[in-house]
Amino acid sequence: MKTTLPSIKKIILLIVFVTTTSVANELSQDASNDNYVLDLDLTEILNEQDINAIYTDTRVTGRDLESNEIYTNDYFANGIVKSKRKNKVWRGIWYTDKKGQHCIRWNHKNAANCELIGLDDEGNWVKFKDTDVTKEIESFKEIPSKSK
């Protein structure tokens, strides 16, 4: 599965990827629970500026590996995020914390969920916590004007 991006975001990601050291990690599948485990030898992940540039006014589609659900999140410049899952709409706020993690605090939850974003060994964008890949990002697209 290759991630698709709108052209301006492709340029930003290309600059980020080319101007930083490459990800020297390997993704291996843990046979005991079918989760992917990321070796902790990361040399490059997206930083706060990169995340903000890529996610602002962007629709992100991916798969949550814990629940195996497909999700579509709209990230707006004002920090609002809307998600569609199982015919429900969730709302919350998104931001990047001081550790460079992409965070979402949903209105129906008390705590924020924060994850790092990086590339797996096949060039796919993933979100991860500690050593576990939690989400696969399938696409970044501009939010359709009717959704804004």
Top-ranked range on mean pLDDT: pick from 27-41, 48-62, 130-144: 48-62
pLDDT, mean of residues 135-147: 88
pLDDT score, position 44:
62
Output the CATH code of domain 7-147: 2.40.128.640
Task: In whole angstroms, give the CA distance from residue 130 to residue 146.
Answer: 37
pLDDT score, position 133:
87
Mean pLDDT of the chain: 76
Q: In this model, does residue 5 exceed pLDDT 90?
A: no
pLDDT score, position 17:
40
Domain boundaries, the chain: 7-147
Query: At 86, is the secondary structure helix, strand, or coil?
Result: coil
C-alpha dihedral, 10 to 13 to 19 to 20, nearest 10°: -150
Which residues are CB-contacts of 75 (< 8 A; sequence separation ≥ 6)? 55, 56, 57, 58, 59, 60, 81, 94, 143
Task: In whole angstroms, give the CA distance from residue 111 to residue 100.
Answer: 17
pLDDT, mean of residues 134-141: 92
pLDDT, mean of residues 16-25: 35
pLDDT digits (tens, 9 = 90+) for 36-65: 343 433 446 788 999 999 999 999 999 999
pLDDT score, position 111:
93
pLDDT score, position 59:
96
The 3 state secondary structure assigned to 7-43 is: HHHHHHHHHHHHHCCCCCCCEEECCCCCCEEECCCCC
